[in-house]
C-alpha cells in the first residue's frame, strides 16, 4: 500500500506492507487457526491441511509473501469474479441484470429460499451459487464447447500465471452437488434459464471453474489487476477500468455474502472469499492483497483470513469507508 503526501513539487511515497507487519498479521492468523471448520460438504475439500496460513501482497510492482504462499488450494467462489468479468466482455451490466441482480444477499451463498423469494425470481447477485451458475449458462451460449477453456485462459490472466484445475475436486463437487442441482432446476422451472439449457455441461463447467488451483501469490496478482483498473503487472489490459469498477463494487457489497456488512466494518475493503479458504481483496491503490487459511466461519469466509485482513486494515488504515 502506498500513501502519498501531496507536495507542491513532488510526491513522497511510503511502502507500508513491510514483511514485519505481514508477519505480525500472520502470527495473529495462526492464533485463530483452530476456529471455524474446513468445508466438508465437498468431500475432497475436507482433506486439506487445515493449519496452513498465508498472506501475499503486491506493492510498487513487488510481490511479498509470508507463510504458506506456495500452497495451492481451490479458488472456489473467487472464480465468480472472473466469470462475471467474462460476462461483461459480452454483455452490458444492464443486460446481465435481466438474469442476475447486483443486490447483496441476506441468506447463505447456496440458499434455495433466497432464489425462491427474490424479485423476478432471478439470483440476487452473480457471487452466490445460483447467480454464478446462470452466468456460466450465459457464457455457454457464447462460447459453447470452448467455455471452460475461455474461463481458464481468463483466470490465468487474472492470476498472473497459467493455472489448471483439480480433477479430484471437480469430481467431488459433482458427486455432492445436490444443492447446486436444486438451484439450476429451480431456475429452469421458473423459466429463468431456457428449457434447452445443457444442465450437465453448465454444471461441469461451474465445478471445474471452482476447482481451479491457486495460491495467495496468484490471488495477490488478481487483487492487483482489479485494484489497478484492469491492468496487470506487465501493463496488459485484462479488463477495462469500467469493468474493474463494477467488480470492486460487487465485491464490496456481495463478496462475502451475508457477512458483507460485517466485513465492511471489520476490514473495509472490497473482497471475495471462497470455501477453499482464500480471500482476494481490492482497493483503488494499485496494490494487491490476498490471504489464505482453510478453516471457515459459518458464512463460508476464511476465519483466520478475515482476522488477518482486519489487523492489516486497522494497522495500515486500509478501510475505504
Exactly one of 57, 125, 180, 205 binds ligand DON (CB under 6 A); that residue is: 180
232, three cell numbers: 496487470
Q: Which stretch binds ligand DON (CB under 6 A): 1-9, 228-236, 243-251, 268-276?
A: 268-276
Edge-first strand listing for the sheet containing 54-59? 62-67, 54-59, 288-292, 278-281, 271-273
Residue 215 marked in a binding site = no
Exactly one of 57, 110, 111, 313 binds ligand DON (CB under 6 A); that residue is: 110
Residue 302 marked in a binding site = no
Exactly one of 53, 83, 136, 210 binds ligand DON (CB under 6 A); that residue is: 210
Q: How far is the CB of 250 from ligand DON (least distance, A)?
A: 14
The span from the CA of 129 to the CA of 221, in Å, is: 24
| CB-nearer residue toward ligand DON: 16 or 48 | 48
| CB-nearer residue toward ligand DON: 201 or 237 | 201
SS3 127: coil
Q: How far is the CB of 18 from ligand DON (least distance, A)?
A: 30
Residue 13 marked in a binding site = no
The span from the CA of 38 to the CA of 40, in Å, is: 6
Mask: binding to ligand DON, 74-103, rule CB under 6 A, as x and -? Answer: --xx--------------------------
The span from the CA of 267 to the CA of 242, in Å, is: 24
| CB-nearer residue toward ligand DON: 99 or 207 | 207
Q: Is 258 in the site for ligand DON (CB under 6 A)?
A: no
Total of residues contacting ligand DON (CB under 6 A): 12
SS3 104: coil
Cβ atoms of 269 and 281 within 8 Å: the answer is yes
Q: Is 32 in the site for ligand DON (CB under 6 A)?
A: no
Q: Which stretch binds ligand DON (CB under 6 A): 97-105, 150-158, 224-232, 273-281?
A: 273-281
The span from the CA of 278 to the CA of 305, in Å, is: 7
The span from the CA of 155 to the CA of 307, in Å, is: 27
The span from the CA of 9 to the CA of 6, in Å, is: 9
- Paired with 58 in beta bridges are 63, 288
Cβ atoms of 201 and 192 within 8 Å: the answer is no
Q: Contact residues for ligand DON (CB under 6 A)?
A: 76-77, 109-110, 129, 173, 180, 210, 273-275, 300
Residues in binding site for substrate: 77, 129, 173, 180, 206, 257, 275
Amino acid at each position: 500500500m502506498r500513501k502519498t503526501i501531496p507536495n507542491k513539487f513532488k510526491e513522497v511515497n511510503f511502502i507500508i506492507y513491510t514483511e514485519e507487519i505481514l508477519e505480525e498479521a500472520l502470527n495473529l492468523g495462526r492464533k485463530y487457526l483452530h476456529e471455524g471448520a474446513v468445508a466438508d460438504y465437498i468431500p475432497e475439500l475436507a482433506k486439506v491441511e487445515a493449519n496452513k496460513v498465508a498472506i501475499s501482497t503486491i506493492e510498487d510492482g513487488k510481490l511479498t509473501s509470508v507463510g504458506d504462499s506456495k500452497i495451492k488450494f481451490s479458488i472456489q467462489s473467487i472464480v465468480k469474479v472472473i466469470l462475471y468479468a467474462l460476462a461483461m466482455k459480452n454483455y452490458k451490466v444492464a443486460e446481465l441484470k435481466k438474469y442476475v441482480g447486483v443486490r447483496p444477499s441476506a441468506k447463505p451463498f447456496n440458499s434455495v429460499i433466497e432464489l425462491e423469494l427474490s424479485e423476478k425470481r432471478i439470483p440476487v447477485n452473480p457471487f452466490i451459487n445460483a447467480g454464478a451458475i446462470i452466468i456460466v449458462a450465459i457464457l455457454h451460449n457464447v462460447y459453447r464447447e470452448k467455455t471452460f477453456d475461455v474461463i481458464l485462459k481468463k483466470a490465468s490472466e487474472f492470476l498472473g500465471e497459467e493455472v489448471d484445475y483439480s480433477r479430484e475436486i471437480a469430481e467431488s463437487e459433482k458427486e455432492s452437488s445436490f444443492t447446486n442441482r436444486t438451484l439450476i432446476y429451480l431456475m429452469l422451472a421458473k423459466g429463468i434459464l431456457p428449457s434447452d439449457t445443457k444442465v450437465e455441461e453448465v454444471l461441469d463447467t461451474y465445478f471445474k471453474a471452482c476447482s481451479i488451483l491457486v495460491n495467495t501469490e496468484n490471488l495477490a496478482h488478481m487483487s492487483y489487476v482489479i485494484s489497478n483498473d484492469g491492468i496487470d503487472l506487465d501493463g496488459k489490459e485484462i479488463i477495462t477500468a469500467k469493468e474493474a469498477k463494477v467488480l470492486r463494487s460487487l465485491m464490496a457489497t456481495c463478496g462475502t455474502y451475508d457477512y458483507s456488512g460485517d466485513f465492511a466494518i471489520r476490514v473495509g475493503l472490497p473482497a471475495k472469499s471462497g470455501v477453499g479458504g482464500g480471500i482476494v481483496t481490492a482497493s483503488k491503490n494499485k496494490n494487491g492483497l490476498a490471504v489464505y487459511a482453510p478453516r471457515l466461519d459459518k458464512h463460508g469466509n476464511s476465519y483466520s483470513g478475515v482476522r488477518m485482513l482486519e489487523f492489516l486494515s486497522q494497522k495500515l488504515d486500509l478501510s475505504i469507508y
